[in-house]
């Protein structure tokens, strides 16, 4: 049988399924929307059964579209989202608490004295973005006996009967020892979590069980968190190669090699991939609102949708001084301020929708530029270019802003399926260890070159960082 793979990316706003051939060609695809909802107090929840059903529907539709046999299944998960469920039968007890949910800041606030030790163990800063604070928060609010895990462990249980999590996903939890890539009893104890209740940690490629939910009984051979899957999908396999995904949030990952590095510049350190004797780490930074900032613009009536961004932004006054810090769900790396609020400044009577839209796009690009600079400092080397993917890369204005601020080329990934192609590569290797995880991956496509001087880029970034400092000060003082 040819090693065609059914690869699935279960994301925040949709689930995408592809049938991918040995050569990397997409021969069948489907996508099913899912519906996160804000619940107040910084809460964002999803219906876990809707997430699972979207996986099944998208997988079946992709197989029907391809009309070929597949050898195995790979699944990428949205990461850092948690759910309470019955450990015996897999029935859910709670909503899924999204990675965007900030309510567990009450947990992290009382653990500040443990922040340094947790970062030393896990490579992650103490922040409600990661899994463990949400596990503790949800456990404390779930009556009766329940198993509380990451969403991936529950999905894997419902598909294969095994409550497992791969090492890349586990490394996003604040509970994994980054050096050993095993659960840390010390970290778990700091959160008052029984390490015995955590799912087993497995490789990203291997045999993880079988599922028949898609029709034929198929082995599940690839598992990864979405951003690490995209890192593989964009062929960023060597030290210093990096990508940024512009989706609901924006996520920068840079491969850092076989030895774990703790960031000195506010980034996270995680497992990039692990299979057999092979493993690698990455440095990463998270921006919580990218595509969701555009959705906010739509709700405000400033744009009809993402397709309007470039036309409107291009019409903005060339001398516009409007600056936006689009921290609509707090600030992630390298600031780690969950209480930060979005900020607009420099508006005058001449300011219109175009100037605000441009400021939001530039705010996103400035945050990515700050992350890249932090990663370069941690690695003591400069990136040559940045590979990019995700829905917002359709905005040429945003991509040009990014190249300008970075003062380096931005290489647009030629496929909209980086995450799915990455987990397909892992699943193919899990089904056939002789295959390379780089097999069949496409090369970069269109390049955006810097069009402004280094001095102008530095001035723009400095002005934005000064605004971010004001946002942070307001959040710390509680004046926002």
Q: What pLDDT digit, counting tens, does each position of 58-86 carry? A: 999 999 999 999 999 999 999 999 999 99
Q: Give the C-alpha distances (Å, rounded to integers) separating 351 from 314, 317, 321, 341, 397.
A: 14, 9, 9, 21, 19
Boundaries of CATH 3.30.420.40 in the chain?
5-234, 286-412+450-477
CATH number of 5-234: 3.30.420.40
Under the banding of pLDDT at 50, 70 and 90, the label for residue 385 is: confident
Rounded to whole angstroms, the Cα distance separating 16 from 97 reads 21
**pLDDT of residue 2 exceeding 80:** no
Angle at 196 between CA 190 and CA 197, to 5 degrees: 90
Under the banding of pLDDT at 50, 70 and 90, the label for residue 248 is: confident
Nearest alpha carbon to residue 24 among 424, 432, 436? 424
| Over residues 213-223, mean pLDDT | 97
Predicted local confidence at residue 1, as pLDDT: 55
Q: What is the pLDDT of residues 446-467, one digit of tens each?
A: 999 999 999 999 999 999 999 9
Angle at 92 between CA 87 and CA 96, to 5 degrees: 120
Q: What is the pLDDT of residues 347-380, one digit of tens each?
A: 999 999 999 999 999 999 999 999 999 999 999 9
Predicted local confidence at residue 480, as pLDDT: 55
Predicted local confidence at residue 319, as pLDDT: 84
| Over residues 459-480, mean pLDDT | 91
**pLDDT of residue 443 exceeding 80:** no
User: Which of 34-43, 164-173, 285-294 is the most confident on average?
Assistant: 164-173
| Over residues 10-22, mean pLDDT | 95
Lowest mean pLDDT across 96-105, 126-135, 215-224, 310-319? 310-319
> What's the pTM?
0.91
Q: What is the pLDDT of residues 155-177, one digit of tens each?
A: 999 999 999 999 999 999 999 99
**pLDDT of residue 259 exceeding 80:** yes
Lowest mean pLDDT across 162-171, 225-234, 470-479? 470-479
| Over residues 52-58, mean pLDDT | 98
**pLDDT of residue 143 exceeding 90:** no
Under the banding of pLDDT at 50, 70 and 90, the label for residue 477 is: confident
Indicate the burial class of 87 (C-beta count within 10 angstroms; 0-12, 13-18, 19 or more). Answer: middle
Give me the architecture of the 286-412+450-477 domain, per CATH: 2-Layer Sandwich (3.30)
| Over residues 321-331, mean pLDDT | 94
Nearest alpha carbon to residue 245 among 205, 301, 192, 284? 284
Indicate the burial class of 435 (C-beta count within 10 angstroms; 0-12, 13-18, 19 or more). Answer: middle
Q: What is the pLDDT of residues 403-419, one digit of tens each?
A: 999 999 999 999 989 99
Strand residue runs (E) in 88-217: 96-97, 147-150, 164-166, 176-177, 182-183, 200-202, 210-211
**pLDDT of residue 475 exceeding 80:** yes
| Over residues 204-222, mean pLDDT | 98
**pLDDT of residue 300 exceeding 60:** yes
Average pLDDT across the chain, whole number = 95
């Amino acid at each position: 049988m040819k090693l065609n793979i059914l690869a699935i990316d279960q994301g925040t706003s949709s689930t995408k399924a592809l049938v991918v051939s040995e050569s990397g060609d997409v021969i069948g695809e489907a996508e099913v929307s899912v519906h996160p909802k804000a619940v107040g107090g910084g809460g964002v929840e999803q219906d876990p059964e809707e997430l699972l059903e979207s996986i099944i529907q998208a997988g079946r539709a992709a197989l029907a579209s391809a009309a070929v046999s597949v050898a195995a299944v790979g699944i990428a998960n949205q990461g850092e989202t948690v759910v309470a469920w019955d450990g015996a039968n897999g029935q859910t007890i709670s909503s899924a608490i999204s990675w965007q949910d900030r309510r567990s800041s009450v947990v992290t606030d009382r653990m500040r004295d443990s922040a340094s030790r947790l970062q030393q163990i896990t490579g992650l800063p103490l922040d409600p973005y990661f899994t463990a604070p949400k596990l503790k928060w949800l456990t404390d609010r779930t009556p009766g006996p329940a198993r509380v895990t990451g969403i991936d462990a529950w999905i894997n249980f419902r598909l294969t009967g095994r409550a497992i999590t791969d090492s890349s996903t586990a490394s996003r939890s604040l509970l994994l020892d980054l050096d050993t890539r095993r659960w840390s009893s010390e970290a778990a104890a700091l959160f008052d979590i029984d390490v015995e209740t955590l799912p087993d940690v497995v490789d990203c490629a291997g045999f993880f069980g079988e599922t028949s939910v898609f029709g034929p009984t198929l082995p599940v051979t690839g598992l990864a968190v979405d951003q690490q899957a995209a890192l593989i999908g964009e062929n960023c396999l060597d030290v210093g190669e990096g990508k940024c995904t512009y989706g609901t949030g924006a996520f920068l990952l840079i491969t850092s090699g076989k030895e774990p590095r703790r960031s000195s510049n506010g980034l996270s350190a995680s497992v990039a991939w692990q299979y057999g004797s092979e493993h690698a780490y990455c440095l990463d930074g998270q921006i919580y609102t990218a595509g969701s900032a555009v959705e906010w613009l739509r709700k405000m009536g400033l744009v009809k949708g993402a397709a309007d961004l470039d036309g409107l932004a291009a019409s903005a006054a060339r001398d516009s001084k409007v600056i936006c810090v689009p921290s609509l769900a707090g600030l992630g790396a390298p600031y780690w301020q969950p209480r930060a609020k979005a900020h607009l400044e420099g508006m005058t009577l001449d300011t219109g929708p175009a100037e605000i839209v441009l400021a939001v796009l530039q705010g996103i690009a400035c945050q990515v530029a700050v992350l890249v600079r932090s990663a370069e400092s941690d690695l003591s080397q400069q990136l040559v270019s940045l590979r990019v993917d995700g829905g917002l890369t359709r905005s040429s204005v945003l991509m040009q802003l990014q190249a300008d601020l970075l003062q380096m080329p931005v290489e647009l990934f030629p496929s909209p399926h980086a995450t799915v192609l990455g987990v397909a590569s892992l699943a193919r290797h899990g089904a056939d260890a002789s295959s390379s995880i780089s097999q069949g991956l496409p090369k970069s496509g269109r390049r955006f070159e810097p069009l402004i001087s280094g001095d102008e880029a530095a001035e723009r970034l400095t002005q934005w960082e000064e605004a971010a400092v004001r946002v942070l000060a307001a959040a710390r003082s509680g004046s926002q």
